[in-house]
Amino acid sequence: MSDPNLAALVMAGGLGTRMRSDTPKHLHPLLGRRMLDWVLDAVAATGPSRIVVVVSPQTHDTIAESLPEGVEIAVQREPRGTGDAVAAARDALAGFDGDVLVVSGDAPLITAEVLGGLVSAHRRAGNAATALSIESPRDLPYGRLVKDENGELLEVVEAADATDDQLAIRELNASIYAFAAPDLWPAVEALDARNAQGELYLTDTIRNLSRAGRRVGSHPTADAAVAEGVNTRADLAHAAALLRDRVNEAHMLAGVTIVDPSTTWIDPDVQLAPDAVVHQFTVLRGATRVAEDAEIGPHAVVVDAEIRRGAIVGPFCYLRPGTVLEAGAKAGTFVEIKNSHVGEGAKVPHLSYIGDAEIGAGANIAAGNITANFPHQPGRPKGRTTIGRNVRTGIHNGFIAPVTIGDDAWVAAGSVITKDVPPQALAVARSRQVNKEGFAGRDGD
């Protein structure tokens, strides 16, 4: 439910030069989603009535074209620091006097539970500003929360400006905040760039508000990883592994067997039913759906496919978008299937490519079978191969679409089928074998 007294700002203006990429940092893919999408999903789940994403002029078009409906954009014209990024959203939130959640767009591990806890703590304390804090075993270059002898927050000091004593403080700033809007904008206006980086630090609003007599505080989260940002490709890989573990654990707690979670990568939108089994070195992507008692892997890649009850995939199998395996079907070793429907109990056991095809229930496709679907003549549409119920193919068969193999038909080994085969017929499409006696003993003329 939307909270009319809560708005959210997501800071996504950085170009991410340390990523050494032409792709803006916040748009790098991470377990099937862009980094920014993970943040926006968590923010949206906290229920703000408005979400504003702050972008740079260079990233405006790329980010704007793919934002969820209702998300607004503000532009930070120059890269003058986090305080200036927040100030860029002031016009967008003109007249809003509730609480403002400020979140870094490069923190893909953040969760709605942590953000909701921050907002609740902020409101219970009646704070003008509340900073999310962490204690991390990693050596992170984050700001330090400086408190008085009573544990009251005085200021947040960036690592680049901190003294040795301040660097020894283990409570770190997560760069995620809740502000009361009437206190936020004056505090941002009072920022100056007298610091090591010559930027307008949002962290300095804590000091400004404290010195002005306004109540400020911190809210710790036990899981430090949720607030860690991504600045390099190494950070990206670290975040991806943690997201992988989070997704896999949720599936296992719901009744899915994942034999080796550390080598199994499952996108967040994949659906797995209880009693499905996923073996090691398997990748499940996109909108893939896997029913109960299905078994996948090892070394299988499945993208936007549907695997129904008791079907078997792999090992070393690639299922591409549009593939459906009906109950008890099998796609075996070194098999690739694309945009095809494999009927109940049908088998494609090994070393075959099946594309744009219908395979009937109970059919058995032998080794080395290929459906060839591109037209022989320019301008003709791509064809489709239809293989009927209980068909038996031989090894090394080719099917030149469009072509239909009738129910209960057989296809002889080595045949290239270019014409329809009637039901219960045997199709043979190959030359006769000819042996040339003594051929190997000739002088080679």
Angle between helical axes of 233-253 and 35-45 (0-180°, round to 10): 50
What is the residue-wise DSSP string for 329-352? -EEEETEEEES-EE-TT-EEEES-
Q: Burial-class residue 204 by CB neighbours within 10 Å (0-12, 13-18, 19+).
A: buried
Q: Are 254 and 273 in contact (CB under 8 A)?
A: no
Tokens linked to 183:
């206190």
Q: Are 405 and 424 in contact (CB under 8 A)?
A: no
Rounded to an integer, what distance in angstroms lies between the CA atom of residue 317 and that of residue 333? 6
Cβ-based neighbour number of residue 262 at 10 Å:
11
What is residue 212's DSSP assignment?
A: T
Q: Are 116 and 6 in contact (CB under 8 A)?
A: no
User: Which residues are the active-site residues?
Assistant: 350
What is residue 295's DSSP assignment?
A: E
Q: Are 288 and 270 in contact (CB under 8 A)?
A: yes
Q: Residue 314's closest CA among 343, 334, 342?
A: 334
